[in-house]
């Protein structure tokens, strides 16, 4: 069973319908025992960082995510999901998040010289694939995906090829698997570490290319290339 | 680079997609779920479903239809018509819609729209804004906001109202020119550009597309972030993919 984390963060129904479409057997739940038995976790959502973290903690889902990550269970995080996996978010005056990925989440700043750039970053954008991953198209290629967000992830990894920040001592390294740009920032659109792959875009709303990622997630064993 | 969007609009009456001219003389063109599936396959970037008689009949939006659409298309979609409360918004969003569109409700009860934006986020709330040209100097933009399919003037200036709606928490504005709607002579580029330059949120040009050149004009001269079409898809049978190929030929970034 593929469990979709239920923490009242908007659009779980879209994710459920898309997973059903690709033949996964999704179930939206916040039941800790069911989540522990699930073969895969999907951490979806739209919402504000503070509100989402509060509900995750209330339902003890923060620990469910950390345990699943530690056990190597395949996890797919989307939109607010990718953002909450980092150490902290700038949103809502600064919110400590799950700390699975080293780094933080920052707000887009509209460029003063270009009123045509709108925040939120809402619509289709082109993502370039940077590294091989079992559930993604090959590196060197591009795909078009649907985004809706005002904040973006800034991983603290040396090999991001997006932002060059020093690695943190004692923390495992991950990879930026895909990048795109908005408001003058080249940012990480797909981030992965171990059995956890996270996208800032919505694969469940990105047409056939998005469904293809979900279809591969359905059978992914959590190993990376 | 963020791409421009091509949005297909389906006006629904008695569970049939209809197409009218200036909100009148509607003709049935097909089943909404079947048409949605076809436009999805043909490369639409997004869709809007307006239940055009829900408000007049004082009934909520057809939630079963929203669910069926969600099972068929895997791109964002907005639903409008019959959204009268935060509970109506929640029902539509939980059924799989990505956004809800409010029009008369925002004028009559701005506090409900503000509450919806706080509850679900601005990205879920689209303002449908119907504009009618006026020579009256009381309207600095030259356009007045009208509601109820253009039947009722509101006394609001279009640009002022667009700005106020963004302050309320609206995350996108779908700007429809009543004079141009269904006439197929092109979008009203003047008011589209005025609104697009006045607000920090995306603006969708609506009303008047008769050919692909009109789409280009709305996205370039009108500075719109997206263009909404109805007749071009329903009556002429244009595929979105072909329209977008032509727009790409003019150097406009569109999804493949």
Instruction: Give SS3 for A188.
Output: strand
Please state, for a pLDDT cut of 90, what percent of chain B lies above it: 79
The whole-angstrom distance between B1's CA and the closest CA on chain A is 6
In CATH, A2-219 is 3.30.930.10: no
Residue A79 annotated among the catalytic residues of the structure: yes
Residue A20 annotated among the catalytic residues of the structure: no
- In this prediction, residue A13 carries a pLDDT of 92
User: Given pLDDT bands bounded at 50, 70 and 90, which one contains residue A162?
Assistant: low
User: pLDDT by residue for chain B (256 residues), tens digit each?
Assistant: 899 999 999 999 988 999 876 556 677 889 999 999 999 999 999 999 999 888 778 888 899 999 999 999 999 999 999 899 999 999 999 899 999 999 999 999 999 999 999 888 899 999 999 999 999 999 999 999 999 878 899 999 999 999 999 999 999 999 999 988 878 899 999 999 999 999 999 999 999 999 999 999 999 999 999 999 998 998 888 899 999 999 999 999 999 9
Residue of A nearest to B93 (CA): A11
Burial call A199-219: b when 16+ CB within 10 Å, e when fewer: bbbbbbbbbebbbbbbbebbe
**Catalytic site residues of B?**
11, 130
- What is the topology classification, in CATH, of domain B5-249? TIM Barrel (3.20.20)
Residue of B nearest to A13 (CA): B96
Q: Which residues on chain B place their C-beta less than 8 Å from a C-beta of chain A?
A: 1-5, 40, 45, 70-71, 74-76, 93-96, 98, 120-124, 171-172, 197, 200-202, 223, 225-226, 255-256
> Which of B92, B97, B160, B104 is closest to B130 using CA atoms?
B104
Query: Is ipTM strictly over 0.95?
Result: no
Contact with chain B for residue A141, Cβ under 8 A: no
Q: For chain B, what are the domain ranges?
A: 5-249
Out of B3, B95, B171, whose CB is closest to A123?
B3
Out of B70, B96, B121, whose CB is closest to A46?
B121
- In this prediction, residue A172 carries a pLDDT of 61
Cβ distance of A120 and B1 shorter than 8 Å: no
Helix (H) or strand (E) segment spanning residue A124: strand A121-129
B226 interaction partners in chain A (CB closer than 8 Å): 123
Out of B2, B120, B197, whose CB is closest to A10?
B120
Strands A175-182 and A185-193: antiparallel
pLDDT per position as a tens digit, A44-78: 988 889 989 999 999 999 999 999 999 999 999 99
Residue B20 to residue B80: CA distance in whole angstroms: 17
| DSSP per residue, B9-73 | EEEEETTEEEEEETTEEEEEEE-HHHHHHHHHHTT-SEEEEEETTTTTTT----HHHHHHHHHH-
């Amino acid at each position: 069973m593929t469990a979709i984390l239920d923490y009242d963060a908007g659009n779980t129904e879209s994710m459920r319908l898309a997973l059903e479409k690709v033949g996964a057997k999704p179930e939206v739940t916040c039941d800790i025992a069911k989540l522990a038995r699930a073969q895969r976790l999907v951490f979806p959502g739209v919402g504000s960082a503070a509100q989402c973290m509060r509900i995750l903690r209330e339902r003890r889902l923060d620990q469910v995510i950390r345990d699943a990550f530690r056990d190597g269970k395949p996890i797919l995080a989307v939109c607010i999901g990718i953002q909450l996996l980092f150490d902290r978010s700038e949103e809502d005056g600064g919110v400590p998040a799950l700390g699975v990925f080293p780094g933080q989440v920052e707000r887009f700043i509209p460029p003063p010289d270009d009123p045509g750039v709108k925040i939120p970053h809402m619509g289709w954008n082109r993502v370039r694939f940077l590294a091989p991953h079992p559930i993604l198209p090959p590196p060197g290629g591009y795909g078009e995906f649907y985004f809706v967000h005002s904040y973006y992830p800034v991983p603290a990894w040396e090999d991001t090829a997006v932002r060059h920040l020093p690695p943190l001592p004692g923390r495992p390294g991950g990879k930026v698997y895909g990048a795109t740009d908005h408001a003058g920032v080249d940012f990480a659109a797909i981030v992965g570490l171990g059995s956890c792959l996270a996208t800032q875009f919505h694969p469940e709303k990105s047409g056939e290319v998005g469904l293809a990622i979900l279809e591969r997630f359905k059978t992914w064993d959590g190993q990376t290339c | 680079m963020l791409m421009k969007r091509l949005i297909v609009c389906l006006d629904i009456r008695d569970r049939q997609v209809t197409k009218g001219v200036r909100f009148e003389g509607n003709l049935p063109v097909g089943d909404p779920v079947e048409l949605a599936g076809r436009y999805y396959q043909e490369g639409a970037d997004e869709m809007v479903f307006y239940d055009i008689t829900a408000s007049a009949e004082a009934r909520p939006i057809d939630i079963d239809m929203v669910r069926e659409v969600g099972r068929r298309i895997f791109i964002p979609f907005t639903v409008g018509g019959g959204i009268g409360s935060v509970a109506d918004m929640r029902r539509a969003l939980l059924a799989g819609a990505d956004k809800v569109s409010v029009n008369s409700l925002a004028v009559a009860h701005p506090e409900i729209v503000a509450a919806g934006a706080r509850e679900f986020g601005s990205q879920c709330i689209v303002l449908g804004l119907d504009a009618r040209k006026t020579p009256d100097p009381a309207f600095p933009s030259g356009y007045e906001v009208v509601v109820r399919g253009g039947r009722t003037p509101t006394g609001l200036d279009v640009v002022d109202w667009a700005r106020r709606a963004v302050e309320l928490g609206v995350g996108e504005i779908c700007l429809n020119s009543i004079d141009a709607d269904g006439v197929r002579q092109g979008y009203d580029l003047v008011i589209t550009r005025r609104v697009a330059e006045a607000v920090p949120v995306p603006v969708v040009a609506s009303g008047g597309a008769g050919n692909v050149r009109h789409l280009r004009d709305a996205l370039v001269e009108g500075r719109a972030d997206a263009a909404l079409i109805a007749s071009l898809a329903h009556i002429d049978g244009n595929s979105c993919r072909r329209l977008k190929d032509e727009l790409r030929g003019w150097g406009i970034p569109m999804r493949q």
